[in-house]
């Protein structure tokens, strides 16, 4: 069994409350729009004993892109996972995501970008669509969110939606300075 902490769209925002979930996790996944190299460095420096799986998003500069991936495909227990920042809307995936789904046949598709938390099973592609919403404070979302869950053999278990008050006053600018 592996315990996962999943977040996306941090846009350089750090929330100390994440640490209790990170400490409990075996793996931390980030579905893009990290925001700054400093944020990425802080995260990776403090979590050397965790499996980190990060993809970059549309706001992430070339330096962040050099330390992350456009997409990831990997196995956890008996499930295949695909993480990509922009997948398109549920069931109407963009061409890149459709191509990856057809190539890899994932059991779970993780994405970000929309800032809208959504967990739904796609009957057509036989996969779970999981978007954790936005953990950061920049954007149109009303509440900052992330997910915690377990993968046990070929099952997702104990899915927990984690919410924090969105503190707009402390929101960083949408794009990091280069």
Average model confidence (pLDDT) across the chain: 91
Q: How far apart are the first and last CA of the chain?
A: 40
Q: How many CB atoms lie within 10 A of CB 141?
A: 18
CA distances from 159 to 4, 45, 110, 162 (A): 10, 27, 14, 10
Supply the CATH classification number for the domain 2-165: 3.60.21.10
Task: Return per-residue pLDDT of the chain as tens, 178 residues.
Answer: 999 999 999 998 888 888 899 999 999 999 999 999 998 888 788 777 899 999 999 999 999 999 999 999 999 999 999 999 999 999 999 999 999 999 999 999 999 999 999 999 999 999 999 999 998 888 778 899 999 999 999 999 999 999 988 764 444 444 444 3
Nearest to 146 by CA among 4, 44, 2, 3: 4
* Domain assignments of the chain as residue spans, ordered by start: 2-165
Which long-range contacts does 14-20 make (Cβ < 8 Å, 24+ apart)?
14/39, 14/42, 15/135, 15/144, 15/164, 17/164, 18/135, 18/146
pLDDT recorded at residue 48: 76
CA distance 122 to 61: 32
Q: What is the CA radius of gyration of the chain?
A: 15
pLDDT recorded at residue 123: 98
pLDDT recorded at residue 178: 35
């Amino acid at each position: 069994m592996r315990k996962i902490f999943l977040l996306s769209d941090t846009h350089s925002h750090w929330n100390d409350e994440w640490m209790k979930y990170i400490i409990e996790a075996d793996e931390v996944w980030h579905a893009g729009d990290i925001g700054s190299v400093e944020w990425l460095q802080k995260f990776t420096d403090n979590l050397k004993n965790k499996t980190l799986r990060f993809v970059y998003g549309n706001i992430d500069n070339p330096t962040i892109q050099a330390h992350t991936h456009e997409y990831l495909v990997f196995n956890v227990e008996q499930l295949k996972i695909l993480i990509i920042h922009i997948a398109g809307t549920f069931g109407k995936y963009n061409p890149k995501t459709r191509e990856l789904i057809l190539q890899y046949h994932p059991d779970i598709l993780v994405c970000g970008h929309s800032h809208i938390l959504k967990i739904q099973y796609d009957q057509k592609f036989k996969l779970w669509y999981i978007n954790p919403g936005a953990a950061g404070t920049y954007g149109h979302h009303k509440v900052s969110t992330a997910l915690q869950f377990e993968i046990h053999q070929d099952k997702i278990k104990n899915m927990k939606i984690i919410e924090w008050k969105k503190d707009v006053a402390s929101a960083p600018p949408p794009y990091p300075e280069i």
